[in-house]
Amino acid sequence: QVQLVESGGGLVQPGGSLRLSCVASGRIFAINRMGWYRQAPGKQRELVADINSSGSTNYADSVKGRFTISRDNAKNTVYLQMSSLNPEDTAVYYCNAEGFFYNDYGRRNPLDAWGQGTLVTVSS
């Protein structure tokens, strides 16, 4: 099984920057894709950005040009650098990882893990 732990959330002023981190640990065989999602009060969870093992990225239109996703494959870590933050970015941000992990019998199983979330609040 794989566990994901996010960090880096907090309170920032509009126009400010914040860097989120997510570390995956456990019996990992491979993590093919990692992504960041967010959920604001009263809204559904939405994809913010994701990145595959080759470095290909996708971004929500609302964050293009402001957010940058990156990963360190050796450390099983994904980052989200957020700049020019505005109040609409306020949400709980969740990390997701997809790939494969080893079960108790050494067999490869599909992986789809989520972190507990980290709160980002953009306010003056």
Q: How far from the centroid of its chain's Cα atoms is residue 71's Cα?
A: 10
pLDDT tens-digit series, residues 56-86: 999 999 999 999 999 998 899 999 999 999 9
pLDDT tens-digit series, residues 1-14: 899 999 999 999 99
Closest CA to 38 of 100, 122, 98: 122
How far the first Cα of the chain sits from its last, in Å, is 40
Query: Which band of pLDDT confidence, cut at 50, 70 and 90, is reported for residue 119?
Result: very high
3-state DSSP call for residue 87? helix
